[in-house]
Chains A and B, each alone.
Chain A
């Protein structure tokens, strides 16, 4: 696969993983936003409602709601339905804890305001490679049926 875009940030949890992007400018609510036994997003009216976080590269900006934010992603991981890698353009304490708990590759500190808006560059279903060792995100050049989000 050819690389369509390369985005630079800070690798905050080491490791390399690749998967389909699950991306939303609107983050998921902390309590009851995810079915912990299937990994499905169940927040009513959320752009990702009905999609699963399982094996995905999860791209969200910040947390919302309960301090149980990490717990839902963690529980899904214990059920075998966790994401493969994380991209959090900016961190807050809840997203940082989520990354520490899941212990999967994370790239963060992407300067969206000046350089790029990652939420415009990546679409749901794009294949994305997250290199937490070097802080590099590679978006593959492969046309997917993005669906409507």
Chain B
């Protein structure tokens, strides 16, 4: 692999131990994928804070933990600053700044989390506290090289406006932010972003829930390493619906990039989506015939049913303890809709409802009065994380989800008969009744 003089200096330790160790991992990663060189990363969406997985490091010393878990070394390096020219977001955090008591953290863990976050702030990381960076100012433009710890954000930013980033992994994202470089490979290369498979949408999805189910079912059917190209006559989804669609698709597959013919910039036409290809038998091809798949309503319904309880007979008699809404974090427009539904209603006294968003969206919801309506109904508006990294209230027995992504991460000990998945409307109605309403 060809390294620049500056890359070599970093690798040599001229900029300190942390950039050196970060560069070692990036070079190893580059060699594994056969990259010819590295590229400069200008945006990095990270995974900062005292997340529970860090417990394996068995230490509360920030630099020791960061060295072992992010820089992948047993040598203790000190994190000074993230690389010059790289704008860094903290990503999902295990803390809700506004209502920390709802995050079930011990006082010690809270203090440790804040001390970790302050080290990141010192290193020039912005505390973003969300899984939707692209809706809160993290906007690498077409051709910019980014890293992100959020699989749905990678799919969104690659597909929707032609920024360039791979799924990578949390360690590689940290290392890229510390040394400012990542292998010029995968989605960082224009020629690797070409569509590999046509997906014909024939079921006419309309609602956010329809698209969530489609993404989940499709992710289960797509071959590994696919770049799907969507075709068909369907109503154009807006960016809020795509936020959910990309989350469910990315979560149930490994998809990092897709094309929507006529919508996404690298697919102004069917032929462009498969470019470098030629037409054979009226179909667009590269070296081989382009595969095409279609999902039937039955397939989507079957996939959806696999996510919800089969014990429907007892729905009305058995109480739902916990309902989680907002994965990915809700947009202000979604908070408005939730507020409109809950206006003047009361959530069942035995049902705990958490609504997940990010600080700036909550701030707007407060200004508009939506937050007050939602909280008056008895739901919590939380920011920063989600049940996946916070956990569930003690004693939770039955849970309902409005997101297939969050549903797939439901606590294993609950058992499938105690888990419900449905539209946001179903979840909100269930929140009022206290039992599952389809």
Max count, chain B CB within 10 A of own CB: residue among A70, A90, A103 = A70
Q: Please pick, from A29, A37, A70, A91, the residue contacting B171 in the complex, using a CB distance under 8 A.
A: A70
Within 8 A of B (CB), among A96-112: 96-101, 103, 106, 108
Q: Is B72 a contact of A74 with CB atoms below 8 Å?
A: yes
Is the CB of A122 closer than 8 A to any CB of chain B?
no
Is the CB of B68 closer than 8 A to any CB of chain A?
yes
Within 8 A of A (CB), among B170-189: 170-173, 185-187
The segment out of A1-9, A16-24, A58-66, A138-146 that lies at the interface is A58-66
Instruction: Give 1 or 0 for each of A27-45: 1 = CB within 8 Å of chain B CB.
Output: 1011110001100001010
Is the CB of A92 closer than 8 A to any CB of chain B?
yes
Is the CB of A118 closer than 8 A to any CB of chain B?
no
Taking CB as reference atom, which chain B residue is nearest A88?
B32
Tell whether A100 pairs with B251 under 8 Å between CB atoms, given A61-B224, A92-B225: no
Q: Is A29 a contact of B408 with CB atoms below 8 Å?
A: yes
Is the CB of B354 closer than 8 A to any CB of chain A?
no
Q: Is A13 a contact of B254 with CB atoms below 8 Å?
A: no
Tell whether A96 pairs with B170 under 8 Å between CB atoms, given A29-B408, A32-B388, A68-B149: no
> Closest Cβ of chain A: how far from B394's Cβ, in Å?
19
Q: Is A94 a contact of B68 with CB atoms below 8 Å?
A: no
Q: Is A74 a contact of B31 with CB atoms below 8 Å?
A: no
User: What residues of chain B lie closer than 8 Å to A29, measured between beta carbons?
Assistant: 408
Total number of B residues with any Cβ neighbor in A under 8 Å: 42
Tell whether A90 pairs with B225 under 8 Å between CB atoms, given A31-B409, A66-B151: yes
Expressed in whole angstroms, the Cα–Cα distance for A94 and B31 within the complex equals 14
Q: Is B150 a contact of A79 with CB atoms below 8 Å?
A: no
Within 8 A of A (CB), among B31-89: 31-33, 47, 53, 56-57, 68-69, 72
Q: Is A93 a contact of B69 with CB atoms below 8 Å?
A: no
Q: Is B149 a contact of A62 with CB atoms below 8 Å?
A: no
Is the CB of B154 closer than 8 A to any CB of chain A?
yes
Expressed in whole angstroms, the Cα–Cα distance for A29 and B250 within the complex equals 11
User: What residues of chain A lie closer than 8 Å to B154, measured between beta carbons?
Assistant: 67
Instruction: Give 1 or 0 for each of A45-61: 1 = CB within 8 Å of chain B CB.
Output: 00000000000000001
Expressed in whole angstroms, the Cα–Cα distance for A31 and B167 within the complex equals 13
User: What residues of chain A lie closer than 8 Å to B149, measured between beta carbons?
Assistant: 67-68
Q: Please pick, from B29, B169, B185, B186, the residue contacting A68 in the complex, using a CB distance under 8 A.
A: B169
> Closest Cβ of chain B: how far from A101's Cβ, in Å?
5
Q: Is B28 a contact of A13 with CB atoms below 8 Å?
A: yes
> Closest Cβ of chain A: how far from B34's Cβ, in Å?
8
Q: Please pick, from A67, A71, A76, A97, the residue contacting B29 in the complex, using a CB distance under 8 A.
A: A97
Is the CB of A85 closer than 8 A to any CB of chain B?
no
Is the CB of B324 closer than 8 A to any CB of chain A?
no
Taking CB as reference atom, which chain A residue is nearest B171?
A101
Expressed in whole angstroms, the Cα–Cα distance for A64 and B254 within the complex equals 5
Taking CB as reference atom, which chain B residue is nearest A93?
B166
Tell whether A62 pairs with B224 under 8 Å between CB atoms, given A37-B56, A67-B150, A100-B25: yes
Q: Is A65 a contact of B151 with CB atoms below 8 Å?
A: yes
Taking CB as reference atom, which chain A residue is nearest B30?
A100
User: What residues of chain B lie closer than 8 Å to A36, measured between beta carbons?
Assistant: 53, 56
Q: Is B32 a contact of A62 with CB atoms below 8 Å?
A: no
Q: Is B33 a contact of A93 with CB atoms below 8 Å?
A: yes
User: What residues of chain B lie closer than 8 Å to A99, measured between beta carbons?
Assistant: 32
Expressed in whole angstroms, the Cα–Cα distance for A72 and B56 within the complex equals 11
> Closest Cβ of chain B: how far from A143's Cβ, in Å?
31
Q: Is A101 a contact of B72 with CB atoms below 8 Å?
A: yes
User: What residues of chain B lie closer than 8 Å to A91, measured between beta carbons?
Assistant: 32-33
Q: Is B28 a contact of A103 with CB atoms below 8 Å?
A: yes
Is the CB of B403 closer than 8 A to any CB of chain A?
no
Tell whether A106 pairs with B169 under 8 Å between CB atoms, given A36-B56, A66-B251, A75-B56: no
Expressed in whole angstroms, the Cα–Cα distance for A12 and B372 within the complex equals 56
> Closest Cβ of chain B: how far from A132's Cβ, in Å?
10
Q: Is B171 a contact of A71 with CB atoms below 8 Å?
A: yes
Q: Please pick, from B29, B56, B170, B173, the residue contacting A100 in the complex, using a CB distance under 8 A.
A: B29
Is the CB of B271 closer than 8 A to any CB of chain A?
no
Tell whether A94 pairs with B72 under 8 Å between CB atoms, given A67-B168, A106-B32: no
Q: Please pick, from A13, A71, A96, A98, the residue contacting B53 in the complex, using a CB distance under 8 A.
A: A71
Expressed in whole angstroms, the Cα–Cα distance for A69 and B171 within the complex equals 10
Closest 6 CB pairs of A and B: A70-B169, A62-B224, A93-B166, A97-B169, A100-B29, A100-B28
Can you sample 19 A-B contacts with CB below 8 Å?
A13-B32, A36-B53, A36-B56, A62-B224, A65-B252, A66-B251, A67-B170, A67-B173, A68-B170, A69-B167, A72-B53, A78-B69, A94-B254, A97-B29, A97-B172, A99-B32, A100-B29, A100-B72, A103-B28
Q: A75-B69, A94-B167 are in contact. List 4 more A-B contacts (CB 8 A).
A: A27-B254, A30-B151, A71-B169, A72-B53
